[in-house]
Chains A and B, each alone.
Chain A
Amino acid sequence: MLPKTSMVTLNINLVLFVLLMPVGRGETKTVSNSTPPVLKKFVKAEYPRSAVQDKVEGTVILELHVDKEGKVSRAIVIESVRDDVDRAAIEAARRFRFQPAMVKGIPVGSVVRYESSFVLPRDNKQTGERKKQRKKKTIGYGKAEAAGNTGKPKPGSDSDSIAEFTQVVKGRRPPRAASDWRIEVSGRLDPGTVSPGRLLAMAPGLHVAQHGGVGKAQRIFLRGFDAVHGQDLEINVEGIPVNEVSNIHAHGYADLNYLIPEVISSMRVIEGAYDPRQGDFAVAGSVWIDLGLKHRGLTAKAGGGSFGRARALIAWGPRGEPDATFAAAEYARGDGFGPARSWNRAAAIGQYVLKISPGTNLKLLATSYTGRFASAGVVKEEDYDNGIQGFYDTYDPHQGGLSVRHQAMAAVEHESNGSRAELAFHAGYRELRLRHDFTGFIFEYRPIDNPKERGRHLGDLTEQYQEGLTLGGYGSYAKEVRFRGGTYALEAGFRFRHDRADQSQKRLRAVDQEPYWDEIEAKLAVTDIGLYLDAEARPSSWLRIRGGVRFDTLSYIVNEPMEYYGKGNRRDAQGVHIGPKATLEFVPGHGLSVFLCYGNGFRSPYGIALSQGERTPFVTVHAGELGLRWRLGDWLDVSAAGFFTHVAEDLVFDHATGRYLYSGATSRAGTTVSAKLRPLDWLYAFLSGSYAYSVLDETGKLLPYTVPITFRAGMGVKRNLTVLWGHELSISARLIADVIGPRPLPYSEETNTVFLLSADFGLTWGDLELSAEAFNLLDTKWRDDEFAYVSNFHNNQETPSLVPDRHFTAGRPITIMAYLTWHVF
């Protein structure tokens, strides 16, 4: 039996014209002849039996369209928990009745957002504490909780029989563009996401490749950009920047391997540069990752599978605390699917949200990670064709690396009536050692100062090392005003980071992996101070105008002590970038929104390439987009966008030499489409596709290495089967197909189309969950990444080939993993 309620708090805020920022505590002010809608009839949502038995908690965020009669004409899920919970929230919300919003005494339609939280019952003491807490402000962006009706838990009831149901109002940042996605991750990991970087691929049009082993940052492709290891995609985790400025291996290097997939609650991916909060590296777009753990209590998970893969996880989410409070640790290892592919890693993440006063929260976050991995490198296509090299072979087994990251953050968030402020500081230590050999014996340096090694062929194995410290912070203040019937919001904020890094690059002898040449020795100090102003106006129910500007100042001090015969060379540079942004959103009704966006983004320059006194040459991108979103009831959600970007002076990364080369101006145009379909309660499907046409302005030729076409389609089922020995047995299964279209390579060549089929399966019974996932079901031999450059792996000094050849890194063959998860308590 499911008693419906324990505590209900409700606050409906007029978000009629303000979605940018949170609004107050549900006041119904009359401003300039307009009044917001007022709730007259509230209906409590029923906690779905299946969700209670599954111990599923969460918060459904709905956008309610209130007509001029005060009825809820539409209820749109903005953030989902799962099907049955979403439906329960919608069914209740549709029965709400409002006093309609009024303008000059005339009833008008309006839009209201509210949050419906489903929280499982605790014991009496805990529940009492929670009730007290809920009378205070909640945490997180845009939440504004109000006191309201409070249900009473059934005394003495246990978690199987009593459900607690709360409702609070929450204002979320609305999408800046049709391609501004919020992706709920918890419980919806893709097959093969044992590497957290692959989570990024859940965003439509975003493709990642893993050419350097499990532990190296993924190579990212988005909207016609070869973002290499992050140079064109800004990534933040809980507001902490992940991209590393002027990393010795690649600018903007974004290593997400320190994340534990199970504690990633959601991702916001914006493709384009339309939000003033977007900073350095937001050329193709930005990703903000939020952490959280849905399951409360202690969870233990362990599993293993193909190629010696094994993984153990323990996670704890204290009951009575929000999802954002948790602690988790994991250890994972694998032998790899071929020589030189073994890896292991350990990570721990803890986050605690402390309410320190009504409306004020303190958030503390700490992460620690170390991972070591081997890397097989590339295979020359010609050698594979001639049977000299196997598909999964390696030329140099000494490639690989070690990656370490420790970081901490403290953030204070405060909400009061109609305003919100936040202030955060973070610090991080980073260490990375990479050894790679992309060329064999091409760039080898023969030291003239060491007669013993003169004339010897020493090899191109390269060691890159980086040790860095990052200090940073961010803060913002948001306020809304109402004026002449319209609602206007303003947010001002800042972000800063200071990076100090010691980096070096050495050539190692093939024979014993000892260094024989110091190529780079540098110390960098980089400071980025960014200020932004963001405004929103909603002068009518069908028009939203958002816009702002981002102002960044970057300074560099570069010290290369080995330069000029050891006397050293120190130089400094500083420059500014101003990036305006604007979005027009038309809301004609019937679930349709049309977006027209413009944004100016930037990428900082590569530190050691700077000259003394240089005005830091930012890579500037102009991005535009026309898109739409359409939601038809609860069963269809479609978005489509056409985009155009222009980069004034682009950089391309030469993987063979590890250097950046200026390519001149580039332009890209294309489209991204995404659709979600839920024809039946237990059946869902999704598909997304993207196309990008990328050219060099100077020649009109295609940009090599980009990913023009991506396509993903999948379908899944999730339903309860039966009750077995007092516990419900439920099943879930999913099948996903990925297609990566032909990618242009230099010399008018292109890669083969890649088709991958993956699946996962889950069986839940009470507190136990058995899950399995299979990646590359068809066991396709596919090339994860491809390159064209000169190599000489066989040390042929008689007739070495100097013409660029094709090389590839092998993709993962069929990989099956199985896990057992136990929600201990």
Chain B
Amino acid sequence: MPGANRYRSHNLVLLSFFSLTCLFQTSCGDTGEQRTSFKMAVSAPDDMGTDFENDLGWKVVLDSASVVIGPIYFFSGEPLFSMSRLLDWLDPIPTAFAHPGHYVAGEALGQVLDQARIDLLSEMPQVLGTATGVTGLYNSARVYLKPAGDDTYSVLVTGTATKDQDHVSFKGELDVEIKLEGLPCGIHVEPGKAGGMVMFVDPRIWLKRVDFSTLAGPDQDGYMFFEKGTSNHSAFSRGVDNAGAFSFSWK
């Protein structure tokens, strides 16, 4: 196979040689990327514990954190906020973008069409399904969180929040479809690469800006909840919608 990265017309002799060589082979060269498939798993971040403190000083202990994920798509388009943008900021030699500030997904390179409920407090990554696609740089991802099957929610989190003398048993639940666009991925999927992709979902970010003292409730199960239309529901929704809660790694 000709390995030329750059090809110029003056390489007539080279091309002719390769063409003659290839004449006697059933297959010679390729058209670029290759089809591939790999396992896709979902997990909470490695440093995830069951307790943490949010921005408003609430100490939160999670009893459960579930999310219904899928499908997931991977694109060639650069995400809005990625490490490369950060590097661009640190190294401010201007880079031209036709429409800075607008995410352009570009070509779809991979996808996981399965949907599954993922327990984020599980100690092991849970397999979402098999991703299919083509090799290349998966720059960004589109992730859907939406109710499916018996799961009437897309995101469900329960736990206890403590601040000073206040102890709140809470339940956060979203029953709508959430489309997360342009999530930074930055993984180069290569043919025959061992391992699979893991998507980390950090439920701590969902509750980062929640003031648990103003939750509604309790409901029939005794949980205080995020009433739609309230600032806390909005803070929870924005937390779920926060791209920072999602990251990708190849393991």
Contact = CB atoms under 8 A, between A and B. Distances in A.
27 contacts: A644-B15, A669-B15, A670-B19, A671-B20, A691-B19, A691-B22, A693-B15, A693-B19, A693-B28, A695-B7, A695-B29, A696-B7, A698-B6, A700-B7, A701-B29, A702-B31, A744-B31, A745-B31, A746-B33, A747-B33, A750-B27, A790-B108, A799-B70, A799-B113, A802-B73, A802-B108, A803-B133
Given A801-B111, A802-B108, A742 B32 contact: no
**Which of A667, A692, A696 has the most chain B CB atoms inside 10 A of its CB?**
A667
B125 interface: no
A242 B123 CA distance: 69
B9 A695 contact: no
A111 B15 CA distance: 38
Given A644-B16, A803-B134, A699 B26 contact: no
Contacts of B203: none
Contact of A644 (B5, B12, B23, B70): B12
Interface string B1-22: 0111111110110011011101
B31 A667 contact: no
Contact of B31 (A669, A692, A746, A802): A746
Interface string B25-57: 011111111110000000000000000000000
A667 B31 CA distance: 14
A129 interface: no
Contact of A799 (B28, B30, B115): B115
Interface range on chain B (Cβ under 8 Å from partner)? 35 or more
Given A700-B7, A803-B132, 16 more contacts: A624-B12, A642-B16, A665-B9, A669-B16, A670-B23, A671-B19, A691-B23, A693-B28, A693-B29, A695-B7, A698-B7, A700-B5, A746-B31, A746-B32, A746-B33, A802-B73
A703 B9 contact: no
B9 A667 contact: yes
B136 to A, nearest CB: 10
Interface of B: 2-9, 11-12, 15-16, 18-20, 22-23, 26-35, 70-71, 73, 108-111, 113, 115, 132-134
A804 B135 CA distance: 12
Interface string A673-696: 000000000000000000111011
A438 to B, nearest CB: 17
A550 interface: no
Given A693-B18, A747-B31, A803 B9 contact: no
A744 B2 contact: no
A704 interface: yes
Interface in A642-674: 642, 644, 646, 665, 667, 669-671
Contacts of B35: 747-749
B160 to A, nearest CB: 35
A700 B3 contact: yes
A742 B71 contact: no
Nearest to A704: B31
B12 A697 contact: no
B190 to A, nearest CB: 13
Given A644-B16, A667-B9, A697-B7, A703 B31 contact: yes
Contacts of B16: 642, 644, 669
A801 B113 contact: yes
Contacts of A703: 31
A699 B2 CA distance: 10
B2 A700 contact: yes
**Which of B3, B32, B115, B133 has the most chain A CB atoms inside 10 A of its CB?**
B32
Contacts of A702: 29-31
A671 B23 contact: yes
A693 B18 CA distance: 8
B111 A802 contact: yes
A229 interface: no
A749 B36 CA distance: 11
Contacts of A642: 16
Given A693-B18, A700-B4, A748 B32 contact: yes
Nearest to B71: A799
A622 interface: yes
B2 A742 contact: no
A54 B42 CA distance: 80
A702 B35 CA distance: 16
B113 A695 contact: no
A359 to B, nearest CB: 47
A622 B15 CA distance: 15
A382 to B, nearest CB: 10
Interface in A608-664: 622, 624, 642, 644, 646
B8 A701 contact: no
A749 B23 CA distance: 18
Interface string A194-229: 000000000000000000000000000000000000
A646 B29 contact: no
A702 B115 CA distance: 36
A698 B32 CA distance: 12
B157 to A, nearest CB: 24
Contacts of B12: 624, 644, 669
Contacts of B26: 742
A747 B34 contact: yes
**Which of A622, A642, A747 has the most chain B CB atoms inside 10 A of its CB?**
A747
B27 A699 contact: no
**Which of A642, A667, A669, A691 has the most chain B CB atoms inside 10 A of its CB?**
A669
Given A703-B31, A744-B31, A646 B9 contact: yes
Interface string A738-774: 0000101111111000000000000000000000000
Nearest to A697: B7
